[in-house]
Every structure is written in structure tokens, then in C-alpha cells.
Amino acid sequence: MTVTFSKTKDYLVGVDSDGCAFDSMEIKHKECFIPNFIKYFGLQPVSRFARETAEFTNLYSTSRGANRFVSYLMAIDMLKDRPEVEARNVELPQLHGLRDWMSRESKLGTKTIKPESEKTGDADLKLCYEWSAKVDETVADMVTGVPPFPGVKSALEKMKEKADVIVCSATPTGALETEWAEHDISQYVAEICGQEAGNKTEILTASKALGYEPDKMLMIGDAPGDMKAALAVGACFYPINPGHEEASWERFNNEALDKFFAGEFRGAYMDKVIAEFETYLPEQPPWKK
């Protein structure tokens, strides 16, 4: 994967979009992804449990923010282990075709699954493409007027003074471009990198290759996947804590960004904010406790 922007500053900041810059995670998953998940995968008989499980894998756990195919396949696998589902004798989809495709493709998105489904004729891929395309259509119809979190615009203004800023997200690029332009903040970023550009580690790796020093690279995100991508390339990570986003952005503007530019971010400070972040997202669902 390649990025198209050029290095103009010593610092690079990657910003996740859904749930990090924008308060859009809840509306997208609860109103767009999950209703279509229940419909397309035949989960109507266990809709209550399907909803609860999908909310856990996508919003309220360590898999928050993962690619849609990863997190919704995880939800189906979790449903298989729920006694309430087993008691209803519901046959859940196995999706072997999807699993095979995911094992060989890193750019998991609507635009990449479509040609693969057409080329292979695989029924699983066709179903998953239809679901994903419908989700994109529903998001485009439903998610409008959702502003960035308070503090985001001022943070972008401040970051742009010393850093090249990019959007680094698993959301389709077209949706990102629409949302960032709608709220007049696309002007602060050098490039918008969505799911078509590769996963977040690939995006940051390609950006690093432009010549940034690891200590001068920062990823801002609300999910463990954002943190893993940052640490994989040796970059710093600043968390936007789920449910405490405004306070997280306020702290970023008041202290974290200054520490980053001063070379005082990595070490005790980053360890402290990551330790706090990790308390918000459990690995085990509440129904297993």
C-alpha cells in the first residue's frame, strides 16, 4: 500500500474517525450495521442476543473499532457459544467462504469483496457483499449532521502547525471524505486513508517510510486496534477513552499534544494514559461472568 501525501513537517499524527474524532460509532452500529446484520444473516429468531453480541464486539470490548468483517464474524462465533441461541435451535451461518477470503486479503472492504464474490461465485462472499453494501447505503442515508467531538477542531488546528495529519480509519474512504468535508475539517489533513488503503498498520507503515522518526509519530484512537497499529510501527499512542471522549480531547489539547511536540510523551505519560484506557474495554462479555 502507498500513501499519496508528501512529508512536509517533522511530525506525523494519525487520527481515527468513528468514535474518535466523531461521535458516530453508536448510531452506525446500532442503526445501520446491526439491523442489517440480523436481516441478512437470518438472525431474526435470536435478534435480542445477536444485537447484544454485536454491540459487545463492536462497541464495548477489546475488539471495538475492528474491521466490519472481523468484528461481525466474531459476533456470529460468539453467538454459537450462547446457550440461549443453542436452546432455540437456530442454524447460524458458517461463512467458510468469508473466512477463506479474510485469510488472504488485507484490504477488507465492500469494494474488495465484490469482485472476489463475482470471480469465485462463492455464496458466502455474495451474501457478505450484499450485507456490507447495504450497510454503506444505510450509513449514507442515516448518518448526517453528526459533528466531531468538542475539542477535535481545535486539536486539528494546533496539530497542523507542526505535524502532517492524516485520517487513519477502517471506514470506507468515501464515507470519511463526506463526513470530514461536511464539518469543514478535511482542510486540516494531508490525506484521508480509509479501508481501501489497507489496515491501520499498513497505513502507518507506508507513512513512516516517508521519513518520520518513530518518536515523532502519534496515533490517536479509541480502540485497541489503533494502539496495536501505533505500537507495531514504533509510534506513540494517545487514547480517546470510550464514554469519556470530551475529557480525553480536553486533556489532549491541554497537555498531551504539548508533551508530544516536546518529546516528553513516550514513557511514563504514555504508559499512564494507556493503562487508564485499558480499563474501559473488557475482553469477556457480561453474559459470561
Q: Is residue 103 part of a domain?
A: yes
Question: What's the sign of the alpha-carbon dihedral 76, 79, 80, 86?
Answer: negative
Phi/psi for 121 (5° steps) reads: 70, 15
Q: What residues make up the domain containing 228?
A: 11-23+147-277
Same domain, 166 and 272: yes
Query: How far apart, in Å, are the Cα atoms of 156 and each of 136, 151, 168, 226, 266?
Result: 27, 9, 14, 18, 21
pLDDT digits (tens, 9 = 90+) for 52-105: 999 999 999 999 988 899 999 999 999 999 999 999 999 999 999 999 999 999
- Please compute the mean of the pLDDT values over residues 126-137 and round it to a whole number: 97
Question: How many structural domains does the chain have?
Answer: 2
**What CATH number is associated with residue 227?**
3.40.50.1000
Same domain, 168 and 133: no
Does residue 289 surpass a pLDDT of 80? no
Same domain, 82 and 15: no
| H helix runs in 163-223, sequence order | 173-182, 200-208
Q: Is residue 67 part of a domain?
A: yes
Residue with cell 459533528: 147
pTM score, whole prediction: 0.85
Q: Is residue 3 part of a domain?
A: no
Residue 94: what pLDDT?
A: 96
Residue 1: what pLDDT?
A: 60
Q: Is residue 15 part of a domain?
A: yes
C-alpha 201/C-alpha 230 separation (Å) is 7
Same domain, 159 and 270: yes
Same domain, 82 and 163: no
